[in-house]
Amino acid sequence: MIYAKARLAFSAGLFLAALTIPIACASELTVTPTFVPTATFPTLTPQPLVTTLVFLGPTPSATSSIGLLPATFTQARPMYSFENFSNGWAPQAYYSTIACIQVSNSSDIVKDGQYSLEVQMNLIGNDEQSNRGEVWVDMRNYPPFPTQQLFVPLDLKGHTITMWVFAPTGAIGDSTQPNGFQIFVKDIHWNGSYSSWTNIVENEWIELSFAVTDSTAESGFMEEGFDPRQIIAVGLKMGAGGSSTAIYQGPIFIDAVDW
């Protein structure tokens, strides 16, 4: 009996100790709060949407019924104006047409805007590979301005391509059988159509034109199967006149290609 009471007392002591120890420990803890700074972000000011309108028809006037166009809007620039480098125009590298050797945009001689396309020629009249040269652009890679909304190949049947060309002194070659120019286009199968031959006139801008159809132009050339509704390339050919043996090493200039 005494043993039982002693055991009970001992157990009660342990129970009380178990209750008091945590309380005592808790009273001795010091908690230091930690503050996490709140991230701050700059205030974003909404910006107005800028929209560029492109109009391919006649320039609207201040009384135009087209309400979305501002009265000061002017007509779009030519399809290729060469204000931004060469616009993808490059020399033809085909082995029998290598007289065009280099192109760059230039401010030396200009018809439209501030730059034209300067084309360096090495035209040798009696050479089968260098008696003609071409400069051209693949419109699938370098579409004309502002045809981001159009899709290449282009249907140019019935359209007239115009191009301004300047030839300095010496470019005419033999004046009795002068060198000349031809505009050309290529379809999706690389079949070509070339305009009529135009003799070179030195030291002035001349406008070349080519009406794209499914018929061969007078003094021009068209490859079999040519499709004017599937055009992917446009360019200019410079060739030696007749049986000329004259050599021209120098530039010609192209500007304001349009249709």
pLDDT tops 90 at residue 73: no
Q: What is the mean pLDDT of residues 128-150?
A: 86
* AA letter at 24: A
| Domain 90-258 fold | Jelly Rolls (2.60.120)
Q: What is the mean pLDDT of residues 37-63?
A: 39
Cβ atoms of 78 and 111 within 8 Å: the answer is no
Q: pTM above 0.85? A: no
Cβ atoms of 184 and 196 within 8 Å: the answer is no
Q: What is the mean pLDDT of residues 132-143?
A: 95
- Return the closest-CA partner of residue 148 out of 28, 254, 52, 61: 52
Place of tokens 């050339």: 221
- Return the closest-CA partner of residue 249 out of 100, 134, 104: 100
Residues 6+ apart with CB under 8 A from 170: 202, 248, 250
- Which element (helix H / strand E) includes 231? strand 231-239
Compare 119 and 52 and report the one with higher pLDDT: 119
Average pLDDT of every residue of the chain: 79
pLDDT tops 60 at residue 229: yes
Give the rounded percent of residues in the chain with a pLDDT score beyond 70. Answer: 69
Reported as a pLDDT band with limits 50, 70 and 90, residue 85 is confident
Q: What is the mean pLDDT of residues 87-92?
A: 95
Q: What is the mean pLDDT of residues 219-246?
A: 96
Other beta carbons within 10 Å of 66? 11
Reported as a pLDDT band with limits 50, 70 and 90, residue 147 is low
pLDDT at 31: 47
